[in-house]
Amino acid sequence: MIATGTDVKPLEVLLFMRDVRSINYFEQMKGRGTRTIPADKLKLVTKTADAKTHFVIVDAVGATKSKKTDSRPLERQPTIPLKDLLQAVTMGVQEEDVYLSLANRLIRLEKQLTDAEKEKIQELAKGKSLKQMTRELIEAFDADVIADKANAIIAQIPVDERTPAKEAEARAEAQEALMRTASLTFNGKLNDHIDNVRKQHDQIIDHINLDEVTKAEWDTESVDKAKALINDFSEYLKANKDEIQALSIFYDQPYNRRNITFKMIKEVMDKLKLEKPQLAPVHVWNAYAGIEEVKSDCPKDELTALVSLIRKVCGIDEELKPFDKTIDENFKRWIFAQNAGQHNRFSTEQMEWLRMIKDHIVSSYHIELDDLDYNPFDSKGGRGKMYQLFGNEMDSIINELNEALAA
């Protein structure tokens, strides 16, 4: 489409091979032909041309004669919050401005979302993606879509019974069906999730009301604020322990801690970011550092920090320390226990594999037999090599390490 942003000055012939319904687009396309160009530059394109005195429109589809519409932006309600637009559509409001404004907001939001956020929205929308929801909102007031659907209804009416009134009823019925299809997707949980995700991606920069320092002194309330933040974090974990599998295991199933996976921890983090972003692990870690002695800085990996905080809140660890250090300590104790009954039980090559397993558990919190088929184990021979080194003890070694390191 030759429209805004296209500048083809030597253009002498404009050929329409598809109809253009928007008067703005049509004028923009014609405008490409009106561009002037010096005669010498035109000759570089068309050697036989003397000068560009005019341009020719070849209309193969009747674009110059068809009815045009005055295009308007989708955003019709810029002052209405997204949450209110979602609620209005859910409650049955059937206004064009509401539908198109909501569609516009969802189009913008869809470009910002991660794949995981899109999947969650699709799950809450019973399989519909944001793009599909947006299309349905727009089509509910698209004259062409309404006409096509109305024509299908009119086609079922005997020819001799078709009247302008019945055709109008068919159009109203068609639009009602389109609006119902678009609105029924939205519900309380989906609306709340969309609004919460939108807040995560919003960045409001106030250039007008600049902050000014009114007082600079030691914050005597910092300890109280730290305690309040830690308490909020603890209460949030307790409130969600029955809903989130990883929290349930940390609180009530100590034996199953060996089965906690990276995906489970990521689920906790995603929910925390969405619902309580102020309880980010680095903030809670710093709060602990403000009221008690914490020997280590907050880990750069936020999932590792989160596991450390959960273990502290649940009472598994008496002091707050990075989970990777906990695994290192547990690994040393396990190796010491193995060597206690049999001096140097493991060979140098076996120890290399055990350390690789330990490092994998540091990053993934759990190891399964299938993980041996991937990096870094595959480059060392994979599960076949481990079986060669440990024999029938391979499975028991993996289970023991999962249990001992997550203790």
pLDDT of residue 6: 65
Encode pLDDT of 109-135 as tens digits: 998 888 889 999 999 998 999 999 999
pLDDT of residue 104: 92
Encode pLDDT of 237-247 as tens digits: 999 888 888 88
Q: Is the pLDDT of residue 57 over 90?
A: yes
Mean pLDDT for 362-366 is 86
pLDDT of residue 125: 93
3-state secondary structure the chain: CCCCCCCCCCCCEEEECCCCCEHHHHHHHHHHHCCCCCHHHHHHHCCCCCCCCCCEEEECCCCCCCCCECCCCCCCCCCCCHHHHHHHHHCCCCCHHHHHHHHHHHHHHHCCCCHHHHHHHHHHCCCCCHHHHHHHHHHCCCHHHHHHHHHHHHCCCCHHHCCHHHHHHHHHHHHHHHHHHHHCCCCHHHHHHHHHHHHHHCCCCCCCCCCCCCCCCCCCCHHHHHHHHHHHHHHHHHHHCCCCHHHHHHHHCHHHHHHCCHHHHHHHHHHHHHHCHHHCHHHHHHHHHHHCCCCCCCCCCHHHHHHHHHHHHCCCCCCCCCHHHHHHHHHHHHHHHHHHHCCCCCCHHHHHHHHHHHHHHHHHCCCCHHHHHCCCCHHHCHHHHHHHHHHHHHHHHHHHHHHHHCC
Residues 52 and 36 sit within 8 Å (Cβ to Cβ): yes
pLDDT of residue 218: 57
Mean pLDDT for 389-406 is 89
CA 254 – CA 248 distance, rounded (Å): 10
Mean pLDDT for 273-281 is 88
Mean pLDDT for 160-189 is 93
Q: Is the pLDDT of residue 258 over 70?
A: yes
Encode pLDDT of 313-361 as tens digits: 988 888 898 888 889 999 998 988 888 766 677 888 999 999 999 998 8
Encode pLDDT of 197-229 as tens digits: 998 887 666 777 788 888 776 566 678 888 889
Mean pLDDT for 264-271 is 90
Residues 6+ apart with CB under 8 A from 131: 110
Q: Helix crossing, 245-252 with 222-240: angle to 10°?
A: 100
Residues 6+ apart with CB under 8 A from 231: none
Instruction: Tell me which residue has tokens 């024509």.
Output: 151
Q: Is the pLDDT of residue 382 over 70?
A: yes
Give burial (CB, 10 Å; 0-12/13-18/19+) of 315: exposed
Encode pLDDT of 82-97 as tens digits: 999 999 999 999 999 9
CA 206 – CA 51 distance, rounded (Å): 52
pLDDT band at 69 (very low <50, low <70, confident <90, very high): confident
